[in-house]
Amino acid sequence: MLWREDRPMRIALLGCGTVGGGVYEFVQERTDMEIAYVLSRRPRPELNCPVTSDFSRIVSDPTVDTAIEVMGGRQPAYEYMCAALRAGKNVVTANKQLMSERYGELVQLARENHVALRCSAAVGGGIRWLTNLESTLDMEPVLRVSGIMNGTTNYILDTMTTSGLKFEDALRQAQALGYAEVDPTEDLNGADARRKLVISTNVAFGCVVQEPEVTTFGIAGIRACDIGAARKMHRVVKLMASARLDSGDVACYLEPAMMPQGMHEAAVPENFNLISITGMHIGKQSFYGQGAGRFPTAYNVMQDCLDIRNGLTRFYTDKLRPARVDNSSIMRPYYVRVNGMDRWLQTRIDKMLDCGIITTPVAVSEIHAWARERKLTETGGFLASLR
């Protein structure tokens, strides 16, 4: 919905927690936007605007032009987003879970109702990653997308590496700083970064990949000895997302990687993310900034609102080609630490280390399938590719 130039953009803020609270504060400082409602399931006397627990009141109010969904989770966020789009309201969301799982459906719904759907904060926190990807696509095809897409795990890996912090203490700090998901397992097992990778892949290649097809290995099993093994090889452990076009299909996976010291990715500190694009003519370009936290994320939400206020009425792409994920053509050596060898691993040893081994080059699809089968994380093991 377009608003009249003579009045501020009227926003319904669905959720007012870490990110929503930041958006609320930003809007208080502006005259071109106002919060028409905050949707809350409990009284919020500290807020200086109408607060309601009744979404039907919001969706039926014709003066509301834009809904900002920062509640998180599947339901009722999905129901509310669909209802807002159907009612002709623009939707801005930071919800990577919904944008990944319901990508095609939501993009289609926004298109049918001629409204904007924007989710810049869903990938990269405060980084204008998706909008930069969108402008690159106006010029040339994108061949590859890769990078660090989760602030919590980067914070844990960085503090374990640079300050020798224990995993549990680093996680507690990341939670206290507002970086982690409500259920931090989603950060640790890679589910959160996988959602961001799916959204980025879909936009970059104009396709729709199914989240469960994206093979994923997180950092839940990492120990100080793995960090030490990387250091001895002059490398740094990072949780890396990767996607590239592969003869019509898409190679798309998430895994810890031991990056050579000196690469940009190896130097990414704290809750920061670094996401790179490889275009046909520009080569590799990287986007860097805080990947999580109240104000960086709220900033990205606000920028989406400003784009809409400036007349934008679309998603980042209108292409929705179904695509298969195939990770069988990407071969890499891996660091593996496991409790007890098996035949598969025995035949792939290239080098023995103090705590773990380096394999000969193995297909990503093969080693991820092996790790799943072996229940590597659950049994205290760990793997990381050598880039």
Q: Which chain residues interact with ligand HSE by CB under 6 A?
A: 125, 150-152, 179-181, 187, 192, 291-292
Span of 91-99, 281-289, 351-359, 376-384 interacting with ligand NDP by CB under 6 A: 91-99
Mark residues 280-319: x for contact with ligand NDP by CB under 6 A, - for none: ------------xx---x----------------------
Work out whether 214 is an interface residue with ligand NDP (CB under 6 A). Answer: no
Question: Minimum distance from CB of 94 to ligand NDP (Å)?
Answer: 3
Neighbours of 358 (CB within 10 A): 18
Say if residues 12 and 36 touch (Cβ distance below 8 Å): yes
CA distance 33 to 26: 10
CA angle 294, 296, 297 (to 5 degrees): 65
| Complex with ligand NDP: residue 181 or 265, whichever CB lies closer | 181
The three-state secondary structure class of 206 is: coil
Question: Minimum distance from CB of 47 to ligand NDP (Å)?
Answer: 11
Going by the DSSP 8-state scheme, the letter that residue 267 receives in this structure is G
The three-state secondary structure class of 175 is: helix
Question: Minimum distance from CB of 61 to ligand NDP (Å)?
Answer: 17
| Complex with ligand NDP: residue 39 or 229, whichever CB lies closer | 39
Which of ligand HSE, ligand NDP, none binds 160 (CB below 5-8 Å, type-dependent)?
A: none
| Complex with ligand NDP: residue 25 or 342, whichever CB lies closer | 25
In the residue annotation, 166 being an active-site residue is answered as no
Residues within window 37-66 making contact with ligand NDP, judged by CB under 6 A: 39-42
Work out whether 76 is an interface residue with ligand NDP (CB under 6 A). Answer: yes
Work out whether 178 is an interface residue with ligand NDP (CB under 6 A). Answer: yes
Question: Minimum distance from CB of 275 to ligand NDP (Å)?
Answer: 13
Mark residues 7-26: x for contact with ligand NDP by CB under 6 A, - for none: --------xxxxxx------
Alpha helices in 206-263 (DSSP H): 224-232
The three-state secondary structure class of 274 is: strand
| Complex with ligand NDP: residue 121 or 236, whichever CB lies closer | 121
| Residue 367 zone, left/alpha/beta (φ > 0; ψ -120 to 50; rest) | alpha
Amino acid at 38: V
Neighbours of 183 (CB within 10 A): 11
Q: Which of 89, 96, 196, 238 is catalytic?
A: 196
Q: What does 91-157 look like in DSSP terms, one character per residue?
A: EEE--HHHHHHTHHHHHHHHHHTT--EE-GGGTTTT--HHHHHHHHHHHS-EEEEEEE--HHHHHHH
| Complex with ligand HSE: residue 300 or 359, whichever CB lies closer | 300
Question: Minimum distance from CB of 160 to ligand HSE (Å)?
Answer: 15
Question: Minimum distance from CB of 181 to ligand HSE (Å)?
Answer: 5
Which of ligand NDP, ligand HSE, none binds 187 (CB below 5-8 Å, type-dependent)?
A: ligand HSE
> By C-alpha distance, which of 282, 309, 275 is closest to 118?
309
| Run of H or E including 299 | helix 294-309
Residues classed as catalytic: 196
